[in-house]
Amino acid sequence: MHRGDLNDLLAFVAVARERSFTRAAAKLGVSQSALSHTIRELEERLGIRLLTRTTRSVSPTEAGERLLHTVGPRFEEIEAELAAIRELREKPAGTIRITASENAADAILLPKLAKLLPEYPDIKVEIIIDYGLTDIVAQRCDAGVRWGEQVAKGMIAVRIGPDMRMAVVGAPSYFKTRPEPKKPQDLINHNCITLRLPHGGLYAWEFEKGGRELRVRVDGQLTYNTTAQELNAALSGLGLAYVPEGMAQPHLAKRRLKRVLEDWCPPWSGYHLYYPSRRQSSPAFALLVDALRYRGPASA
């Protein structure tokens, strides 16, 4: 393969991902007309159209999608290897992108990053708050944070937090006019504050007792897409919230919230940092993993 073919494929990947000649040209540092000419020449050499162009959008054809999914990850692996080589110097450096839930970012990542980052000013960390089970490879993240049970097969998982529990909580004012639920099924008669997931659905509350597992699709007047807002709404007496125990604990201690169904909320394996097994570990990433690694209660 000629070097020009590689450059043309890189140009195609940029346009297919950006869905725009204008944005792709800016990213590659070339003119829009030159980029358009490159794509036309590539299509002519291959004898097939790769992109569908309209006055408002650009999208890959079936052949274009196949080519994108085939060559795109290869270029990413090459870029990752080159980045790792560039980082092989005395001082670890580089940007690490992590996807995590809001609670994991606040309770686990932030306290440990507060100790790590001041010592290594050339390391940058970008945290993307996401409640979905993100494909970190497709989203070009270096790692993700999830509960142990949610880590996909084929990933390296490193425990970064203790066991944790969820808690169903409501304000004392809420329970003045409503009976406390005694079992998860009772929640259907309560005003529950729901969580909207990235794919559009509502999160079903999960319970377990005596080996029996239940998922309850609750309903209520308020829906948010982060647990912090759910907790605030519960504090305002607007319904029951299902949040990590650690978030609710300070308010439970001051009796601003009351907990119910505690016997249906057993401990789960704590947060884990996960990343692809084929990922080349750069000095910066290796430092981050070691800093986040859970070593027991004394390290918390």
pLDDT at position 170 is: 98
CA angle 77, 81, 85 (to 5 degrees): 170
Mean pLDDT, range 138-161, rounded to an integer:
81
Q: How many CB atoms lie within 10 A of CB 101?
A: 21
Domain 3-86: CATH architecture, name and number where available: Orthogonal Bundle (1.10)
Mean pLDDT, range 3-20, rounded to an integer:
84
- The amino acid at 206: E
Domain 166-264: CATH architecture, name and number where available: 3-Layer(aba) Sandwich (3.40)
pLDDT at position 77 is: 84
| Residue 253: both structure tokens together | 């201690």
pLDDT at position 149 is: 61
Split at pLDDT 50, 70, 90, the class of 299 is: very low
- The amino acid at 259: R
Q: Is the model's pLDDT at 80 over the cut of 90? A: no
- Domain 94-163+269-299 CATH superfamily: Periplasmic binding protein-like II (3.40.190.10)
Which of the 8 DSSP states describes residue 37? Answer: H
Cα separation, 240 vs 243, in Å, equals 10
Helix residue ranges, H only, the chain: 3-18, 21-28, 32-46, 62-86, 102-104, 110-116, 172-175, 227-235, 245-253, 283-292
Mean pLDDT, range 140-152, rounded to an integer:
79
pLDDT at position 198 is: 80
Q: Please check whether residue 281 is in contact with residue 288, taking contact to mean a CB–CB distance below 8 angstroms.
A: no
Split at pLDDT 50, 70, 90, the class of 279 is: low
Q: Please check whether residue 28 is in contact with residue 14, taking contact to mean a CB–CB distance below 8 angstroms.
A: yes
Task: Give 184 or 146, the one with higher predicted confidence.
Answer: 184
For β-strands 223-224 and 194-195, DSSP reports them as parallel
Domain extents in the chain: 3-86, 94-163+269-299, 166-264
Burial class from Cβ neighbours inside 10 Å (0-12, 13-18, 19+) for residue 144 reads: buried
CA nearest to 169, candidates 251, 96, 114: 251
pLDDT at position 223 is: 97
What are the tens digits of pLDDT across the range 29-78? 999 899 899 999 989 988 999 999 887 788 999 998 998 888 888 888 88
Cα separation, 193 vs 40, in Å, equals 53
Residue 272's φ and ψ, nearest 5 degrees, are -125, 140
| Residue 109: both structure tokens together | 């990542």
Cα separation, 131 vs 174, in Å, equals 27
What are the tens digits of pLDDT across the range 194-220? 999 887 789 999 999 998 999 999 999
Q: What is the mean pLDDT of the chain?
A: 88
The number of C-alpha atoms within 13 Å of 136 and in the hemisphere containing its C-beta is: 28
Q: Do domains 3-86 and 94-163+269-299 have the same CATH topology?
A: no
The number of C-alpha atoms within 13 Å of 60 and in the hemisphere containing its C-beta is: 15
| Residue 146: both structure tokens together | 């999830």
Residue written as tokens 């790769």? Answer: 50
Mean pLDDT, range 285-300, rounded to an integer:
82
Dihedral sign from CA coordinates of 73, 77, 78, 79: positive
Q: How many CB atoms lie within 10 A of CB 262?
A: 12
pLDDT at position 278 is: 63
